[in-house]
Structure 1
Amino acid sequence: MVQVWRRELRRLLLLLLAAALAGHQFGYTGWALFATLLGYVGWQWLQLARLHRWLASGQSKTLPSTLGIWGQVFRQTQSLQRRSRQHHQRLTAVINRIQDSTAALKDAVLMVDSHGNLEWWNTAATQYLGLRAPTDVGQQMTNLIRNPDFKRYFDRVDYREPLTIASPVNPQQQLQFNITLFGRKDRLLLVHDVTRLVQLEQMRKDFVANVSHELRTPLTVIRGYVETLQSAADHLPGRSQRMLEQMAQQSQRMELLITDLLTLSHLETDLPDDPTEVDVHDLIAQICADARALSGERQHRISHQVDSGWMIAGYGPELRSAFSNLIFNAVKYTPEGGQIDVRWQVDDNEGVLAVSDTGIGIAEHHWPRLTERFYRADPSRNPDTGGTGLGLAIVKHVLLRHEGHLSIDSRMGKGSTFYCHFPRQRLQQRVSEPAL
C-alpha cells in the first residue's frame, strides 16, 4: 500500500513538472500548474463518483478499470466483492442444509428471541403446535401456546427440568418442552412427543395401584388366619411356632409394602386438593414423640429445635408421612444411645427441615439413587433395619408436590443429615390472636 501511494505521488510530481516546463515555454507557468491541479482533482472526483455509483447500484455491476491508486482500490474492492459473494454462498448453503435437516426432524425445533418473540420453527412444530407462517412470526410465544403451566415455565427462566403438557392442537398428545438459553437470552425450544411414554407410565401407575389394592384383601385374610393359629400356638410343635412367627412377620412387612405402594400411587396420580395451613412445630413434636416410642429400649436421644409459629401451605397427611419417614429412618439406622437432632429453620429464601443422626452413614455413590423405588444403600436388606425401600421415594414425591426438594449429606461412620427444602412462598408466620 505504501508503494502505491509513492507511485501516485511520483506520478503527480512528474505531471506538475511537465506542466511547469510547458507553461514556462509559453510564459504561463502558474496557469499551467493551476489547470493541471484542477484536472487532477477532477479526475479524482470522477473516480470517486464511479465508485459511489457502483455502491449505490447494490454492487450489481462490475467496477470499471482505471489507472493509479484508484485502479488498485477498484481491484481490491472487486476482490472483496468476490470473497464476500463466495462467503455468502457458503453461509446460505450451510443455513439451507441446517433448515433441511431440522425440517426432517420428528422433534419440533423453535427459535425465540430475548423478548420471547417467535423467530423460526420447523415442520414438526407446525404439526405439534399448530403454528402458521408468516402470521405467527414475531408473535409472543406465550400467546401462541396458551397454557398456564407453559407460561410459568417459560417466564421462570429455570429450564433444568423439562415441562410436559398437552398439545394445543391435540389434547390427547403429550409434548415435552426442553428450553436452552443461548446468545443474549435467546431461547431454543426442543419439543418431543412423549405420548407413548406418558401412556406407559400411566399404565404402570394403574397396574401398581390395582395390584396393591387387590393384594390387600387376601393378605388381610392370611394374616388373620396366622394370628388365629398363633393364639393356639401352645398346642403346636415348637417348629410350627417358629414358622408362624415368620409368616406373621412377612405378612406384616407385605402390608407395609402395600401401604407404601398405595401412598406412592396416590402421590403420583391424584391431583392435590386446596392446601391448608400445617403447623410445623406441632407436627414435628408429635412425630418426635412417636420416634421416642419407636426407639424404646434402644434409648436414642431425640431432640428437636423448631422456629415456632411457622405454617406450611400444604397437605398435612403427606407432610407427616415424609417427615416421619426421615425421622423413623434415623431411629432405625442409629445405634443404641445415639443422637438424633431435628431442626426447622426459616430464612428469607426458604424453610429447611434437617434430620441428623449419628448412625452408620451412607457412602456418597449411593446419594443420587436413594430416592429410587426399592433402592437400598444396605445390600444385606436386614429385616431389622430395612423398611420397604419406598420411604425416600415417598419423601421425594411429597416434597415435589410442595415445590420443594431433598438434599443429603452423610459420612461413613459419622452419621447422615437429610434436608427438606421448602420455598419461602409456601411459608407464612402464624398471626397471634389478641388476648381477650
Structure 2
Amino acid sequence: AFPLQYIEEVTKDFEFGFLGSAIAILLLFSIMTWFIINYLTRPIQQIITAVKPYQEGVSPTIPQIYLKPENRSDEFGKLASTLNSLSVKIRSHIESLTSERNEKEAVLESLVEGVIAVDNQNNIVFANTMACKLLNLKQSSILNEPLEALKQPKCADLVRMCQSDEKVMTDTLEIKLHGDKRFFDLVAAPKKDATGAILVLQDKTEHYKLIEMRKDFVANASHELKTPITIIQGFAEALHDNPDLPLETSSEITSKIVRNCIKMTMLIKDLLTLTDIEHIPESRLLETDLLDLITTVKSTVQDAYPDADITIHADPEEYYLLLADPYLLELAFNNLIENAAKYSPPPAKVDVTLTTENDRLRIEIADQGYGIPKHELENIFQRFYRVDTSRAKKVGGSGLGLSIVETIIAKHFGEISVQSEEGKGSTFTVFLPTKRDV
C-alpha cells in the first residue's frame, strides 16, 4: 500500500500534466484552426477588398481580382471570374457612355445656338459656351443654380410654362448688352417623364435689326418723297387755279416744280441703286484696273467742278487690278471724289492716293474742305443721314450717297473709314482686295 500523501502528489502531478497537455493541444488546435480559416476565407477577403472601393463610390469600376491558382477552380474562383467579367462589362459601358456624352457635349458646344438644360427642380445642369456668351454670363456662376441665375425672368417663365403645359413653347427676348440691343428667339421644350426641360436661344439680332432698318428705310423714303411731291402738288394747284398769273411768277413756280422733280428723280435713282447693289451676280465681276477707273472718275468730276484741283498719286509701274463691277465701283468713287469737291471752298483741292498694303489696295481721298463734326462721324454712312451744318443743307442731296458707297465697298469685300476735323477737311480710306485675293 502507498501512503496517502504519495497518492495525492501523484494525482496532483497527473492533473497538472493533463491540464498542460490539454492547454497545449487546445492552443495548437486554435492555431491550426486560424490557419485553416484564414486559408479558406482569404479568397473571399480578396474579393471583398476589391469590391469595397466600387461599393463606396471611390472607384468607377471593380478592379480585376487575381486569386491563387489553387483557388481558381473552386466556388471562390467562379465568383471572382464572374466579378471580373462584370467589371469588364461595366468598364466598357462606362467608356461607351463617356464617349457618347463627350460627343453630345462636342455637338452642343459647336452649335451657334445657346443651349441650357434644367432638372425637375429647375436647377441648371448644363449650359454650353454659346449660351453663356449670348447672355454674358460665366458658366461657373450658373451651373447647379436655379433658373433665376440667368437674370432673365422671361427665360425662367418660359421654361416653367413648357413644363406645366407639357409642350414646346416659344417667345422672343430683347436685352441690352454692352449698350447694344440684342434679340433672341427662345424655344423651351420639356424632357420626357418630367425630368426637366431644355431652353434654346437663337441670336436673331441681325434679322430683327434688318426688319427695323427696312421699317426705317420705308418711313424715311416715304418722308423724303412726300416733301417734293407736296411742293409739286401745291405749285401745280396754284398754276391750275390761277391761269392768269404774271409770266414772271408763273416761270418761278414752274422752275420750283422742275427743281423738286429733279430732286425726286435723284432720290428714286438712288433707291433703285441701293436695291441693285444688294445682289451683284458673279458675271458682273470683271478684271478692273483701279487707276484707269479713278482717272475716268476724275475727268467726270472735273467737268462738273472745273476749278477743282484733283490730283491722283500712284506708281505708274504698279498694277492696281481687282475683280469688280466697274459701273458700281465707279459710282462709289465718283460719290467720294465729288463730295470732296462739293464740300470744299472753291477752288477745291482733292488728293487721291493709290497704294498696295498687305496684298490689298488702299485708296485715300483727302480734301481740305469744311470737314465733318466729330459727333456726326459715326452716323454718316447711315441711310438718309445728312450732316447738320448750314453748308451741307445748302448743297442738299438725298442722304443716300455715302450709304451707297459703303454698301458697294462691302459687296466688293472691302472696308471704308473716315477721319475728319471740322474746318480742316476729311480723308476717306478704302481697302479693297486685289484680284488674286478675291
TM-score by length of 1: 0.48
Task: Tell me which structure has the larger Cα radius of gyration.
Answer: 2
TM-score by length of 2: 0.48
